[in-house]
Structure 1
Amino acid sequence: MAALDPVALTQDLIRRPSVTPADEGAMDLVQATLEDLGFSCRRMKFGEIENLYARYGTSRPNLCFAGHTDVVPVGDARAWSREAFAAEIVDGVLIGRGAVDMKSAIAAAAAAAGQAIARGEVAGSLSFLITGDEEGAATHGTKLVVEALQAEGEVIDHCVVGEPTSAETFGDMVKIGRRGSINTWITVDGRQGHVAYPQRAANPIPPLIELLHRLQSHVLDEGYTGFQPSNLEVTTVDVGNGATNVIPAQARARLNIRFNPAHTGAELAAWIAREAETVGRDFSGTITVEPVISGEAFLTEPGAFTEVVAAAVEDVAGAPPELSTTGGTSDARFIRALCPVVELGLVGKTMHAVDERAPVEEIVKLQAVYERLIARYFATFG
């Protein structure tokens, strides 16, 4: 069988405009590609979301590559220099939605797996966990696949997620952990009235301001080993009052906390609820707090696995990567329930941007890194 071309496969994937929750045949292409390499593939559809778990081999250790075929919307299509789903290569750079985040990583991992299989380097199993619901609500994707695999007793020993982790130059950063995230919706219900007769009303704005002040003025922590300090950010404050002489009936706000392992989502939700209860004691209306924990903080402790990953990067890039916990959330927060997980991919500067793009040379390098990672992994753990 001819070797897979990771650039051509990336182009084919980009040409399937799989904006969450649409699939547009992207998962069919991944499945067909992996089946041609000898993988046994299972489609795991939850709701309208297409997911795939594929495995080559039956023994341990099982090294998994994880990622997502869904992409964010194009935005203003007229602002792109090339059609966003045409996957054109201009001066050695592939332009298209998903070029960086992260169809290129799926293609590079598949190509690397094909080379490892051809060379007989798989002393155990290789697997792929691919979802179509990472950029959206992430409720019917990797989370449910992980739960299903756990229920079946499927064992994955280590996982590499192909998110674009490099910061400035290819291979300069690998993610070994992430902060957790909790969103909270706060609604204060008072009583509408005339501003000249405040005794007849219950203004919801002052208690909302007080609550936000109490939350923002609290220092969550000074940091955690390997992590930056946790931070709370108010993202919206809404009253919707178009009149100057009316005390409104309701005021709302939303906030997000990105937290390190010094906290859990449940502990932070309980703290917010306690602060709301304190503020509400002297208020005749009601304060409602609705938290949604989208992920807990986690860390893959440096050790044999991270050493394999770092060495593979250095083999190709010429220098060891920084092992970092910075950035937002990814599906690694769900996979950590199965096994140690790291994230390793292209430079992420243009992800979600107009003219998202990846140098062709770096897609080829990513395949090379994944090839070295597979070889080193089975030499170490196989």
Structure 2
Amino acid sequence: MSLSPALALAPELIHLDNLLSLASITPDDAGCQRYLAAQLSRLGFAIQWLPCQGVSNLIARRPGQPSLAFSGHTDVVPAGQHWQVNPFALTEMGGQLYGRGIADMKGGIAAFLVALERTLDAGAELPGVMVLLTSDEEGEAEFGSRVIAEHLAGQGQLPPWILVGEPTARHHSGDTLRVGRRGAISGTLTLSGKAGHVAYLPSGANLLHRALALGERMAALEWDQGAADFPGTSLHITGLEHGDWLDNVTPSTVSIKFNLRYSHRTNSDAIDQCIRALVPADLSYQLGWSRPCEPYFSQFADQQPNFLTRVEKAVFAGLGQFPVLSTAGGTSDGRFFRAQGAEVIELGLPNASIHQANERVEKSEFLRLIEIYQALLASL
């Protein structure tokens, strides 16, 4: 069954339906934040816009000393092909809700908005609660949450607790919390030399041979092993490029492309030094880096109930079990808020179909996430 404005929607699906109908492909917000600003303003939130380099950023806050902020992104990846349904419409089929961004992460935003409505309707004040939104998470993430975090910290208005609505769950909403993430960085190591005819060139002077040997050494590097609660560092070679190909001529340049995921026990400067130390002294080279994302790891205050305890209890109320704490997965905007001193927890929908055709979640899991968010807000 395809849901459309002509059909009666359950109240908890209205915001989700409106958000999914907007094709907000990075960094185009496509009106999502204007819609959300109108809803939040109706709930007593003051609205502040913080645009930066074509990116839409929204800060919404309840009166009072900053307490808890929900951080989310309204941008999505392109829909791509092979969809069974319209990617930019909410569709319910077989107990599942379909749409681009429903898991990553318009579903989380819509669930938090419904939880806000219910909690405020019940008479809560929610002093100092904020909603922080950007349209620049799926891209380079240079002008979104980083800008928001730095702005709030500079004003002394950054909440101590940041709840990120990323899809963290494995099977059921709330079963996994992210309390940290590894860093990530991509590198290109370009070697330069002389092209040569294979009939006359010694094997050791073949630049491609040397690049292959260097790549093998890079792959064999021993990095830190992380810790029991944080994965260690790893390097993967992702490409080897050498220009136009001739079957009897060796190349004059070869580029090794690679990516590292690294723990909080190292940093991008140390990685750069390690790679440079591997290159033989007689080789001319250039080393470039792109898409750097620093790691983060939240440590929580000792006093009880602290942020983690409150979130765990909210999950138990909605799921009937306590969550697993994890630092696995890719990067997230949580790093920007942690860098400014906030405690960060990521809690959202199951992530099995994110960035895929026919992105979807179980309707029951969307409803469960609303209950978890509502329990957390009630604890404030």
TM-score norm. by structure 1 comes to 0.91
Q: Which residue of structure 2 lines up, in the alignment, with residue 301 of structure 1?
A: 299
- Cα distance in 2 between the residues matched to 1:293 and 1:135: 12
Deviation at 1:202, TM superposition (A): 6.0
Aligned-residue CA RMSD (Å): 1.9
* Cα distance, 1:187–1:6 mapped onto 2, change above 3 Å: farther
- Cα distance in 2 between the residues matched to 1:253 and 1:96: 37
Q: 1:320 aligns with which of 310, 319, 322?
A: 322
Cα deviation, 1:309-346, whole Å, max 9, x if unaligned, reads 11100101000010111111111111112301010001
Deviation at 1:290, TM superposition (A): 1.0
- The answer to whether the 8 Å contact 1:211/1:275 transfers is yes
Residue 60 (structure 2) pairs with residue 54 (structure 1):
yes
Deviation at 1:302, TM superposition (A): 5.1
- Cα distance in 1 between the residues matched to 2:37 and 2:199: 68
Residue 318 of structure 2 aligns to a residue in which SS? Answer: helix
- Cα distance in 2 between the residues matched to 1:206 and 1:50: 48
Structure 2: which amino acid aligns with 1:150?
A
Residue 372 (structure 2) pairs with residue 352 (structure 1):
no
* Cα distance, 1:248–1:196 mapped onto 2, change above 3 Å: same
Residue 292 of structure 2 aligns to a residue in which SS? Answer: strand
Structure 1: which amino acid aligns with 2:312?
A
Deviation at 1:68, TM superposition (A): 0.5
- The answer to whether the 8 Å contact 2:173/2:366 transfers is no
Q: 1:94 aligns with which of 80, 97, 102?
A: 97
Q: 2:136 aligns with which of 133, 137, 143?
A: 133
Structure 2: which amino acid aligns with 1:87?
L
Residue 75 (structure 2) pairs with residue 70 (structure 1):
yes
Cα deviation, 1:115-166, whole Å, max 9, x if unaligned, reads 2233343453110111101111111111122222222222211010001111
* Cα distance, 1:95–1:123 mapped onto 2, change above 3 Å: closer
Residue 328 (structure 2) pairs with residue 330 (structure 1):
no
Q: Which residue of structure 1 lines up, in the alignment, with residue 287 of structure 2?
A: 289
- The answer to whether the 8 Å contact 1:93/1:360 transfers is yes
- Equivalent runs, 1:154-303 vs 2, <5 Å: 154-198=157-201, 203-276=206-279, 279=280, 281-283=281-283, 286-292=284-290, 294-301=292-299
Cα deviation, 1:31-88, whole Å, max 9, x if unaligned, reads 111111111111111111111111111224x200001011111111xx2111111211
Q: Which residue of structure 1 lines up, in the alignment, with residue 43 of structure 2?
A: 37
* Most deviating of 311-320 and 86-95: 86-95
- Cα distance in 1 between the residues matched to 2:12 and 2:208: 55
Residue 185 of structure 1 aligns to a residue in which SS? Answer: strand
- Cα distance in 2 between the residues matched to 1:354 and 1:144: 31
Query: Percentage identity across aligned positions?
Result: 33
Structure 1: which amino acid aligns with 2:127?
G
- The answer to whether the 8 Å contact 1:7/1:363 transfers is no
Residue 355 of structure 1 aligns to a residue in which SS? Answer: coil
- Cα distance in 2 between the residues matched to 1:132 and 1:217: 38
* Most deviating of 20-29 and 220-229: 220-229
Aligned length: 365
Deviation at 1:357, TM superposition (A): 0.8
Deviation at 1:225, TM superposition (A): 3.2
Q: Which residue of structure 1 lines up, in the alignment, with residue 4 of structure 2?
A: none
Q: 2:113 aligns with which of 110, 114, 117?
A: 110
Q: 1:25 aligns with which of 18, 22, 31?
A: 31
- The answer to whether the 8 Å contact 1:6/1:104 transfers is no
Residue 157 (structure 2) pairs with residue 147 (structure 1):
no
- Cα distance in 1 between the residues matched to 2:78 and 2:83: 12
Structure 2: which amino acid aligns with 1:65?
F
- The answer to whether the 8 Å contact 1:224/1:261 transfers is no
- The answer to whether the 8 Å contact 1:265/1:293 transfers is no
- Cα distance in 2 between the residues matched to 1:208 and 1:59: 57
Residue 18 (structure 2) pairs with residue 12 (structure 1):
yes
- The answer to whether the 8 Å contact 2:300/2:343 transfers is no
- Cα distance in 1 between the residues matched to 2:98 and 2:377: 28
